[in-house]
Amino acid sequence: MSQITSYAPGTPSWVDHGSPDLDASIAFYSALFGWDVPEPENAEQTGGYRQAMKEGKPASGMMPLMQEGQPPAWTTYVSVEDADATAAAVKEAGGSVIAEPMDVMDLGRMAIFADPAGAVFGIWQPGTFAGAGVVNEHGALSWNELNTRDTEAAKAFYGVVFGWDFEDNDMGEMGTYTSLKLGDSPVGGMLDMTGRGVPEEVPAHWQVYFAVDDTDAAVEQAKQGGGSVMVEPIDIPAGRFAILTDPHGASFAVIALSDEALENT
């Protein structure tokens, strides 16, 4: 198991899912990823927020939708040193604030933003809780990817907010894929939705990837659980991936990582 105890500022460190039917979503993802999602002892303080556990380590968050009209979705959180300073940088760079920085008990301090293209993301200033305790294993977070139609504007925004560098990679028929880098280390990716021919009605968003042992088997399990397939399994250098939606329409991806990808993590 790839266990993590801390994240460098600027690294995606956590994901959570907002659902209109929390019990149904827990059943779907637990069957797919082997999660245990216990009821929290302090449910009144956390608004029903739960941690999905994988072999005793936190893998993701699960929560009921908090606002009327809020769509079911997965949210990526980036670890930061100072949530308030990051909020100021987001505003200065042209982003918008959905939820101002707030303390989550002694666990940490969080905020939710949208970038100038409307892609929603969160930040997490760790207290006693650093983020995902396991990555790159079946049912654990493996990658976070910005899908946008203006990659140059995204580079300008996220470069200011998180100090990321960007490396464009020619993927042949699949166009250009950009690595988001913190120093020499890749911490995520960026996909040009226009170049890939993504339908216009699909908004800019952050995509969450979960590692699986067998992508095709995961796709079949998701379909049996009421999910749908947006992109059928495809082989890429990082592994074999597919993009799915859960029964409530939230998009996520699964990937069976290649040996090369696992060696570089």
Q: How far is CA 153 from CA 2, 95, 102, 189, 254, in A?
A: 34, 11, 28, 15, 28
**Mean pLDDT for the chain overall:** 93
Report the candidate in 17, 39, 20, 46 with the shortest Cα–Cα distance to residue 122.
17
Mean pLDDT of 218-247: 96
Question: How high is the pLDDT of residue 175?
Answer: 73
Express each pLDDT in 12-64 by its tens digit: 999 999 999 999 999 999 999 999 999 887 766 778 899 999 999 999 999 99
pLDDT classification of 115: cutoffs 50, 70, 90: very high
- Share of residues in the chain with pLDDT > 70 (%): 97
Residue 229 has which token pair? Answer: 């397939």
C-alpha dihedral over 52, 55, 58, 64, to 10 degrees? Answer: 0
Mean pLDDT of 175-201: 90
Q: What domains are there in the chain, each with its CATH number?
A: 2-134 (3.10.180.10), 136-263 (3.10.180.10)
Burial of 187 (0-12, 13-18, 19+ CB in 10 A): buried
Q: How far is CA 36 from CA 58, 139, 215, in A?
A: 10, 11, 21
- Cα–Cα distance measured from residue 191 to residue 120, given in angstroms and rounded to the nearest whole number: 15
Express each pLDDT in 56-111 by its tens digit: 999 999 999 988 888 999 999 999 999 999 999 999 999 999 999 999 999 999 99
Q: Does 147 score more than 80 pLDDT?
A: yes
Q: Does 171 score more than 80 pLDDT?
A: no
Question: How high is the pLDDT of residue 263?
Answer: 67
The least confident of 25-29, 152-156, 173-177, 252-256 is: 173-177
Q: Does 1 score more than 70 pLDDT?
A: no
